[in-house]
Chains A and B, each alone.
Chain A
């Protein structure tokens, strides 16, 4: 049960994040909600790769525990996902700044020049 705790945290974060992204009114809050989903995804991958009692997957620094390590692949995947997440967050925030400059508001209900 306690071993499943990360997965519950992931589910909760995804639900909060999606809720915020769908029902949020403020653009910055929407960007934060998207980052929350991103964090949840990364936590999910890391939790999948964790092995109870395993050491770090760096051979020369693992000491005497070199035969039992956590999986390195999910960590590599997460690093890539974090880099991509940073890029998307930066782009989202830049677009929000531009939107604020054009519309003078951060409220999604007022930013709807494109419809129909």
Chain B
């Protein structure tokens, strides 16, 4: 797949980072506002999608390795299941971090307010875990599908202009 025009590439280069930061924001505020691990993770995975579309697959697949995202995925999943085992003293998935004063452990302020990030215990931890997992998983799906397109394209589209891309 060929890269898009220089305008698209520049804009994508700039906005990919903003998208990633916004995605991380959605992940860590998952327990306070609409959104959460999956939604934020999907937004962060757009980073990879933007780069793939604007720079073309050949270049992008040279930049990143799927193993990197594979590691992301498994770190997220293992953190998630570890968060479940954290509460096994009471019940599986028991929110043992809430109100403990430590990480995500302060009390929720009463009444309408903007929300305090350091609350909700295991729920926030699980949001982060799911976020990491989804970033890895979705980026990996994108990369693998792109590699798959390569395999399909080689015999059928060789020498032809690719449809759907400008220039």
Contacts and interface: CB of A to CB of B under 8 A. Distances in A.
Interface of A: 56, 58, 60-64, 66, 79, 82-83, 86, 90, 93-94, 97-98, 100-101, 104
Interface residues of B, number: 21
8 contacts: A60-B32, A60-B108, A60-B112, A63-B112, A83-B38, A94-B141, A97-B148, A101-B152
A32 to B, nearest CB: 16
Given A58-B32, A58-B34, A101 B113 contact: no
B113 A60 contact: yes
Contacts of A93: 145
Contacts of B148: 94, 97-98, 101
Nearest to A76: B36
B33 interface: yes
A56 B34 contact: yes
Residue in A66, A90, A104 with the greatest tally of chain B CB atoms within 10 Å:
A90
A68 to B, nearest CB: 14
Given A58-B34, A61-B33, A79-B38, A101 B151 contact: yes
Closest 10 CB pairs of A and B: A97-B148, A60-B115, A90-B141, A83-B38, A60-B113, A101-B152, A63-B112, A100-B152, A60-B112, A101-B151
Nearest to A65: B112
A27 to B, nearest CB: 13
Contacts of A79: 36, 38
Contact of B112 (A66, A90, A100): A66
B107 interface: no
Contact of A58 (B33, B151, B152): B33
B147 to A, nearest CB: 10
Contacts of A62: 112
Contacts of B152: 97, 100-101
Contacts of B164: none
B35 to A, nearest CB: 10
B8 interface: no
